[in-house]
Each structure stands twice: as structure tokens, then as C-alpha cells.
Structure 1
Amino acid sequence: MTISPSISLPAGMHVFERGWLSSNNILLIDEDNAALVDSGYLNHAEQTLALVQAALQGRELTMLINTHLHSDHCGGNALLQSVYACRTLIPVAELAAVENWDQQQLSFVATGQSCERFRQDGSISPGDTFRLANLEWQVLAAPGHDPHSMMLYCAKEGILISADALWEHGFGVIFPELEGKSGFAEQAAVLQLISELDLRLVIPGHGAPFTGVAAALDRARNRLTYLSTDSSRNARHALKVLIAFLLLDRQRFSLQAIEQQLRASRLMAAAAAQLATPIELLIQQLAGELVSAGVASLEGEFLQNVR
């Protein structure tokens, strides 16, 4: 779960690579603070805590920062807060939603995912700076995948904590477009911003940290062009991602339960509406595509995770 030894990290910086159910976690330690960036999914919260405790070796976690509030990035917040008196900072636009625990405004209900209630102690905004692991980090806005998402950039080391704005092979689902809001243009602007940074290393929200930034940006731009020229492609991709997440979470799901979840989840229903395909047929198609992609197997009326 830790970063490959071939990647050079500054002293005091630890990366826990978690896969796809939980986001990666980045721990930054110096003599004054120990800060964790993103906490993974609720079902992996105990695992997140164990990783943090092992790295801290008896020290306190003093700060918890969320790049954005999708459940796979903040699902461990509540458990960490129950163990540590860590100051928790979230994107500024989400302050009221967390304070009031507004289930409609937060994305958990809309995606059919889970997150235990946590507190917020303050915010991060574009232009903010933090000294973590004895390095200066600047907060950068990263709308597109999520309109409130942020990244952290260390100019001295040429490191970007990119969350879901850039992976080695793509980026996170452009969720705003599912509900008729702008997201493709914002994602293009974020990719342009990243291209203007002096980077040697990107630590993504999912997948291994990588150094081939220019090639990753080319792949991301090509992917964005493909999705934005036909919005139904983004909708179909979003549905498959959300179903795959449910499979990672629960391991086995009936097609009927998937249909029920699709109707109940605001974002899944919005994506399905863009495809103009009868729901029963759409579920069969998506299940077949997940099987063909090697993500799942189909056993009668049940879709089974195979990863």
C-alpha cells in the first residue's frame, strides 16, 4: 500500500496507495505538525487509521485536509476525529453542507454511497498556503470532476497532489455534466493549469504516483475530447464507474438491486436519462460491458466483483 521505492519523496512525506474504493492518503510530518490529505472510504476507515498510526509511531495527527468531499476521499474522517484531535479542513464551498450535514447538497446520497458524519473546523481556498513536512504547499482550485475540488502544489519539490483532476491514465468522472451543469470546460482549464506548473511528480487520488506528467496530460486531454464531443459517453462512463464502486463496496449485487439503486441515486438517474435507453436494457448492457472489461462476472442475475 505504500509508494514504490523508485519514487523519491521528501523527508516526512508518506503516500499510501489504496486502490479504487478508497482514495490515496498522503501523510506529511514535520517537527510541528502531522497532516493527512484525504482519508479513504468508510469501509476502509479502520485500515486508514492503522496505516496512519503505524507511520506516526505514537505521534498525534494534528491536521486532516480533504481535497474534496466525495465519499472515497473523506469516509475515514469520523474515525480519525474520534482518535485524534485533528483540525479538519474542507473546501470552502462545502462548509455549510458539512456543518448542517445536508444530505442533499453533499454527494453521498446522490451517488448511493456512505459516509459517517464528521465535523469541519475550517476551510481551504485557492491561494491558501500551508507548511507541511517542512515544505510550502499552495492550494489550487480543480473544478471539473467536482466543482469544489482542490489540489496541493509544492513548487520547491515540483510535486502536485492532484486528487481526481489528473491520474496517470485519465481523471475522475465529470459529474456536473450529468445534471446539465458545466464541467468539461472546467476540466480543460485545470489540465491547462497543471501543464503550466513545474512538476516532477504527481500524486493522484487513485493509482500510483507518476513522473510522466506530459504524457499523462496528453492522455487526459484526448479522453476529455472524446467525452465532451458526445455527452452520452460521459453519462455511460459515470454509470459504469458508480456500479463498479458499488461492487467494490459490496462484492455482489443483483441486477434488480442495481436498477433500484439507479432509480434512487440522483446522479445515476440523471446519467441514465441522458442515454434514452429503457432501464432494464441499460442495466443488461452495462453489466455486459463491466464483464467484458474484466471488472465483474455475471452469475445468473447477480453481478460479482472480480478485482
Structure 2
Amino acid sequence: MSEVALPASLRVFERGWLSSNNILLVDEDRAALVDTGYATHAAQTVALVQHALAGRALDTIVNTHLHSDHCGGNAQLQAQWASETLETLIPAASERAVREWDEAKLTFRATAQTCERFTFTGTLAPGARLKLGGIGWEVIGAPGHDPDSLMLYAPEPRVLISADALWEHGFGVIFPELEGESGFAEQQAVLDAIAKLEVATVIPGHGKPFTGVDAALQRAYSRLAWLRADPARNAKNALKVLIVFKLLEVRTLRFAALQAMLADAAVMHAAARQLAPESAWPGLLHELTGELAKSGALVLREDGIEAPAAVA
């Protein structure tokens, strides 16, 4: 892979799970942050931004979508710069859910995750244009992983902020398919849209920025075809991702707590129902956690699971 060269006005804070990457764009007029990480990392997000801005105020927050790992730092950033005029732009399709703080629609409770309530000052829809870091950006719809998700594309430096629509090795869970809604077709269309753009560098929601976009697209197309061939694969992947995400937050989980999560968290419940009848969920959890233990993602205990020491 060739060396990644980014505009001088753009800085990427590559975050480990649980947080998405944060992209800081600074010019003479505005300091903007794209995506703000998870709630438990919010203080660290504030510290990173403060250090990078060296006394300058943050002017704008942009959220590509409102999964908890992309907007969980919003509230603390808003509190930190409460005396300033801090603009917060969210996807237009999510406006009502945020205004009413509908946690079911926002998926926080549905995925057994948390997000402190935040406000917003404006919205972004596909087709909009904005200037961040002295660079002109086009807003592109990116349904698939999340119906409301957006990407930001800068034609002149040929940079794509892809959120979870394209990673170097895949893309985010196709959540709509878990609840019987269309998501695979939308993800296919998003990949097709990216393929038509002139992109030199992708800044994904997770992982390092990368070039080699054509190869990444081919891997993504291959993975999507594999998931579409058997939708249970998407459900199984979703449960594994959500279990590990929660485990990284709380460090240990008893099997009884995992079973309660399947019952109470609507997205996890829907995924489990695609894989097994409810009476078989204890066995399903042991199967999934066993596979995750073999991959090194967690450690099995007699009564539950714990995060491996390597990510403590």
C-alpha cells in the first residue's frame, strides 16, 4: 500500500474500539470534528481535541451517523464549549429521533449501548455541500449499515470520509437486515457509488486511513455477496460484534447478563431470532462465545466471559 498523504488541515485521531475515528479539520474560519467516539471515551475525546486546538475553540461537530460509537462524545464536547457557539450537524433523517430522544430509533438501547443526550443546531442531507478545513466537501447518502448514514467526499484532494460504509477490510454490520428491512441492496448501491468517485484516500470509521481503494472495494463486494447468500451470517456477525463491544465496555459479563441482553436489546433479540428459537439461546450464546474465545476476542470463564488482558 502506498503512503497515505492527507491535507495539512486534516488530522485523524485513530481510535481503538469502542470509539470511531475522529477527524479534525481546521482552517482560518472554523475548527470542526467529524464523529466523536463512544460515551466512555468522551473525556479522552475532549482532551485530544483540546490538545490539538491549543486553546482555540471547537466550532462544529459533524456526525456521519448516530450509532453510539460515532456520537457518544457529542454531549461532553458541547459541555466543554458551552460558552462558545458550537454548531452540531446531524443527518437530516435522524432529526426527529434526536429531537424527541427516541432511544429505540437511535438504537442505543436496542444494542445495549449508551449515549448521553445531546442537542443539535442543524442537519445535513445527501447533496449538501460544506467547507471544512478549507476543503469543499460533498455529502453523500450511505444507507446499508445504517439507513441514515452519510459520507463526506472532497473531490479536489480525492478524500472520502466513509464512516462504516467502507473499511479497508469490509464494512459495518448491515443492521436493517436484522429487523426484516432492506440493507444488503443499499450497501451494494453505496459501494457502487464509491466506485464511481475519484478517491485516492479513504478515512474509515474504524482503522487507519488507506489507499488501494479498488482492492478494498473488491473485498467489500466479496463480503457482501457472502452475507447475502445466507443472511444468518449477518445476524451471527452482528451478535458477535455487539457482545464484544459490550464486553470491552464492562470488562466482564456473566452468561445470565448476556441472556438478559438478548431479551431486552431489540437489535440483539432480532439477530438471535434469526439464528435459533428462544429456548435455544443459552446454547447459541455458548457457541458464539466459544468461537470468539478461539479467535482471542474474549476469555471464557465458568460463569461468563471477560475481556482479554491484551485490551485491558
Q: State the 1:181 CA deviation.
A: 0.1
Specify the alignment match of 1:46 in structure 2.
Answer: 43
% identical equivalent positions = 56
> Can you list the C-alpha shifts for 1:97-124, whole angstroms capped at 9, x where unaligned?
1111112211101101000000011101
**How far, CA to CA, are the matches of 1:178 and 1:47 in structure 2?**
32
Where in structure 2 are the equivalents of 1:60-209 lying within 5 Å? 60-84=57-81, 85=84, 86-209=86-209
Specify the alignment match of 1:14 in structure 2.
Answer: 11
Q: State the 1:280 CA deviation.
A: 0.6
**How far, CA to CA, are the matches of 2:200 and 2:28 in structure 1?**
26
Corresponding pairs, count: 303
Counterpart selection for 1:29 from 16, 26, 29:
26
**How far, CA to CA, are the matches of 2:9 and 2:282 in structure 1?**
51
Aligned residue for 2:166, secondary structure, equals coil
**How far, CA to CA, are the matches of 1:248 and 1:104 in structure 2?**
22
CA contact (8 A) 2:164 2:171 kept: yes
**How far, CA to CA, are the matches of 2:282 and 2:8 in structure 1?**
53
Larger mean CA deviation between 96-105 and 140-149 belongs to 96-105
Q: State the 1:256 CA deviation.
A: 1.2
Aligned residue for 1:115, secondary structure, equals coil
**What's the TM-score once normalised by structure 1's chain length?**
0.97
> Can you list the C-alpha shifts for 1:64-120, whole angstroms capped at 9, x where unaligned?
000000000000000000011320000001111111111221110110100000001
**What is the root-mean-square deviation of aligned Cα atoms in Å?**
1.1
**How far, CA to CA, are the matches of 1:93 and 1:131 in structure 2?**
21
For 2:274, the aligned partner's letter is: Q
Aligned residue for 2:61, secondary structure, equals strand
**What's the TM-score once normalised by structure 2's chain length?**
0.95
CA contact (8 A) 2:276 2:284 kept: no
For 1:129, the aligned partner's letter is: R
> Can you list the C-alpha shifts for 1:136-188, whole angstroms capped at 9, x where unaligned?
00100000000000000000001000000000010000000000000000000
Aligned residue for 1:171, secondary structure, equals coil
Specify the alignment match of 1:3 in structure 2.
Answer: none
Specify the alignment match of 1:214 in structure 2.
Answer: 214
Long gaps (5+) in structure 2 = none
Larger mean CA deviation between 103-112 and 145-154 belongs to 103-112
Aligned residue for 1:292, secondary structure, equals helix
**How far, CA to CA, are the matches of 2:17 and 2:145 in structure 1?**
16
For 1:185, the aligned partner's letter is: A
**How far, CA to CA, are the matches of 1:260 and 1:205 in structure 2?**
29
Aligned residue for 1:105, secondary structure, equals helix
Q: State the 1:276 CA deviation.
A: 2.0
Aligned residue for 1:27, secondary structure, equals strand
Specify the alignment match of 1:286 in structure 2.
Answer: 288
Aligned residue for 2:282, secondary structure, equals helix
Aligned residue for 2:147, secondary structure, equals coil
Long gaps (5+) in structure 1 = 1-5
> Can you list the C-alpha shifts for 1:177-203, whole angstroms capped at 9, x where unaligned?
000000000000000011111011000
